[in-house]
Structure formats: C-alpha cells, structure tokens
Amino acid sequence: MANLASTFAGIRSPNPFWLASAPPTDKEYNVVRAFKAGWGGVVWKTLGSEGPPVVNVNGPRYGAIWGADRRLLGLNNIELITDRPLEINLREIKQVKRAWKDRAMVVSLMVPCDEESWKAILKHVEDTEADGVELNFGCPHGMAERGMGSAVGQVPEYIEMVTRWVKQHSRMPCIVKLTPNIADIRKPAEAALKGGADAVSLINTINSITSVNLDDFSPEPMIDGKGTHGGYCGPAVKPIALNMVAEIARNPETADLPISGIGGITTWRDAAEFMALGAGNVQVCTAAMTYGFGIIKELTAGLSLWMDEKGFTATDQVVRRAVPNVTDWQYLNLNYITKARIDQDLCISCGRCFAACEDTSHQAIAMSTDRVFTVKDDECVACNLCVNVCPVENCITMERVAPGALDERTGEVVPAEYGNWTTHPNNPMAKAAE
C-alpha cells in the first residue's frame, strides 16, 4: 500500500490533504469534524490583529457559476477574514492541536504592514503550539482596500519585507500564500524565498464578478442593491492554478521552494496533477464546502490506489514528476503529427464534431447523406476541437502519424531527421545559429 504520510516545510501530516484557510476552518467545531473525517491538516481561517473588530456582511456572501447540470463550477466570495475574537480563535487552536497532535495545524495571518503588528500576533500564535503560519498575501477584496491581502501580495518588495519580519520574530515554518492577481507569479515567489519563506502556497482567489442581476442591475451577490468584486475559486480556476504552480516549480530561482497547491481540487486526480507539477501537498476548500468533509475518503483512497497502480510507495515520488516535461512553445516538436479518427461503433451521429469543425475550424470532417462522419486527412491539422466537443468519451481520438509515414495532408513523407523545433530548419533561431 502507498504511504500517504507527508512532510511539508517540516510539518508532518498523515496525508497530503489539508483544508485551506476559509469558512471550513473557522472554528474548533469544524476542524475537529474535519480531523475525525480524516483530513491531514488545516490552515485555520485568517486571523487579524487585536483592534477594531472585523465585520462581515449579513447578506449573501457567495456568488456562483454552474454547469448545465447545476454542478458548481466556481464560487465568488466577498467574505472577510475571521470575525470571531482573536482570543477565542487562539484558545480553540491550542485545544485542537493538543488533542490532535498528529495533524498539521497552520494558522493563516493578515495584519497591517508594520513590523510591530506582525511581531505581536506571532507571539500569540506560537503560544498555541501551532505547527506553522501562512501569510495571507492574496485576499483580493475587503482587506486589499485596507492595504493588506493582495495589496501586499502584488508588491514583491512588501512580500520580502514582511516575510523577513516573520522569520525574525518566529520559530515557526512560514508559508507565503500568493495572489494570482499578478502578471508574473514567479516574482512574488522569488521575493518570498529571499525573505526566508519555508514554502509558498497558491493560488489564492481570483478577483472577479460572477454575474449581474438584470432586474436590479447590480453585481451578485447583492447587498441592499449593491455588489462588489470578490474572490473566485472552485473547479473553474484549476487550470490557472496548475500553470502558476508549474511556473514556480520550473523557475531555476525557485525550483527547490516547497509548494502547497490550491485551486479547484475536487478529486484525487486533481491532487495528483498538482503534485506532479510541483506541489508537495494540496489544500482544498470549495469541494469540502460543496460535498462536506467526507470527500476526504475518496481523495485518500483514490490517490492511494493510483499510486499503487503506478508503483509509487510515497508521495515524494510523485512530486515534480511532470515538471521536466513542461516547456515553452518554441521547444515543441513540430514533426509530431497526429490525425483525428472517429470510431463509427461509438458515434451517435449527433454532428457536434462536424458543426464545430465546419463552422469554426478547418473543414476537416465530412458528413454523408446518412449522417456518417469521417475525417478528411488532407485538411485535418489535429487541433483536437472535435475531441473536446464530442459527448462520447473515446469516440474521437488523435492517432499519431509516425516519422517516415506518408502525411496525407501534404502528400509528403513525414521527416524523421529533425527532433524538435530547436533544430527545425524553419526555426529562425536555428538558422541564425548556423
């Protein structure tokens, strides 16, 4: 059996699945239920400094995007950091950690951008015996307008400065949570590393408005006729998160920086993909809010079974395994040629592939009078659109045309002497090198 035990930034947990800082980790009751269900760790919902209380709205806090089957694809939230008193949160964190010593307990923090505020709250958190802190530099709404959250995360100099304060005034491992609301995710990751961060976590939520009420003409969720931008999360953000995780993992400056992957993780497969692209563990939020804490059983069982099938005995063997295969477009092999193939036994003659290709692609699919669909190899450029729109799994596949075989599109033999674009004669850089 695969061993799912995880050590991330020096923090141990029985499996790599943590609950992200969010409503599911706001209080002792929730966290204890999560640990009983089997979650490996939690990041306690973001604490603020002592001072004026945080006041959340009492109207709707979430907007949503659904698929055609009403499956939740994305959540937009306008909720702020915890509005519970600091002393109550700290007391509960200490109680939970003492009762669940084998689980990871990380505390998310967001305070004003001055050294004394950070020094003060770090002392309180250390007294709870928590395993580490996560610096919330990602929240795009509410707190950003107050000079915190993504307002800090979008300025690498601030990230480095605050991280340095945290490492100076604390013994705990420091995870820096990064905002995706930035042009180049590598820069804040590099800044966190320079400041002494033990790891980074990403992505935080994406600045967004999910919908507009067309009766009241206000963004939703709507509070007394008004709406605001919020943070977008859920399955829809997974591709963005995967790319940003990979960018940090393959950046020479941050290649050894531990990464906690966040963003739309709903299944064990999602988790495995994040890990393969560089994440040492993963954090889950929207899936738990949609299906409850019990999904951890599917996550751990699925990941364990897959690892067994692949011959992996520890999660470390999965982490970064796909990173060497992430490259820039210019290095892709232009001599790798495929063609679409339609399995007539599986085809239901819906015509989606024909409509998509005929109207918006390369007119490479023919339709007979009795609605039999076939591929015209001389027109097919293997764009994969037909595969993506087909409602029947594996009905349309892409089959490789091997080097040395006849390319029916051009009537020429596919050359085998050029390995990839870097050596291809049509590459201007290759010509310049010659």
* Per-residue pLDDT tens over the stretch 154-178: 899 999 999 999 999 999 999 999 9
Question: 28: domain range?
Answer: 6-325
Say if residue 42 is in the same domain as residue 169. yes
Say if residue 164 is in the same domain as residue 115. yes
Say if residue 304 is in the same domain as residue 358. no
In this structure, what are the phi and psi dihedrals at residue 9, rounded to the nearest 5 degrees?
50, 35
Mean pLDDT of 8-20: 98
Say if residue 168 is in the same domain as residue 289. yes
Residue 420's pLDDT is: 44
**Number of helical (H) and strand (E) elements in the chain, helices listed first:** 13, 22
Which among 113, 139, 347, 380 is annotated as catalytic? 139
Say if residue 348 is in the same domain as residue 262. no
Please indicate, yes or no, if residue 1 is contained in any of the structural domains. no
Name the band, by pLDDT with cuts 50, 70 and 90, for residue 115.
very high
Mean pLDDT of 132-138: 92
Please indicate, yes or no, if residue 277 is contained in any of the structural domains. yes
Say if residue 353 is in the same domain as residue 319. no
Instruction: Give burial (CB, 10 Å; 0-12/13-18/19+) of 225.
Output: exposed
Going by their DSSP bridges, the two strands 6-8 and 211-213 should be labelled as: unpaired
- For the ranges 93-102, 137-146, 418-427, the one whose mean pLDDT is highest: 93-102
| Angle CA 316–319–207, to nearest 5 | 135
Mean pLDDT of 279-286: 97
- Torsion angle defined by CA atoms of residues 164, 167, 169 and 172, in that order, rounded to the nearest 10 degrees: 160
Mean pLDDT of 141-150: 68
357-408, pLDDT tens digit by residue? 999 999 999 999 999 999 998 899 999 999 999 999 999 999 998 766 655 5
Is the pLDDT at 418 greater than 50? The verdict is no
383 is catalytic: no
- Give the pTM: 0.89
Rounded Cα gap, residues 160 and 139, in angstroms: 18
Say if residue 338 is in the same domain as residue 314. no
Say if residue 18 is in the same domain as residue 96. yes
Is the pLDDT at 432 greater than 60? The verdict is no
How many domains does the chain divide into? 2
Q: Which residues contact 56 (CB under 8 A, 6 or more apart)?
A: 79, 80, 83
Residue 355's pLDDT is: 97
Rounded Cα gap, residues 30 and 26, in angstroms: 7
Task: Report the SS3 class of residue 387.
Answer: helix
Instruction: Give burial (CB, 10 Å; 0-12/13-18/19+) of 51.
Output: exposed
Please indicate, yes or no, if residue 333 is contained in any of the structural domains. yes
Q: What is the domain-level CATH number for residue 339? A: 3.30.70.20
Q: What is the domain-level CATH number for residue 55? A: 3.20.20.70
Please indicate, yes or no, if residue 359 is contained in any of the structural domains. yes
Please indicate, yes or no, if residue 289 is contained in any of the structural domains. yes
Residue 406's pLDDT is: 56
Residue 15 tokens read as: 């499996």
Is the pLDDT at 205 greater than 60? The verdict is yes
- Of the three residues 290, 310, 325, the one that is the final residue of a domain is 325
Residue 151's pLDDT is: 77
Say if residue 147 is in the same domain as residue 231. yes
Quickly tell me which residue has 């954090």 as its tokens: 283
Rounded Cα gap, residues 239 and 206, in angstroms: 12
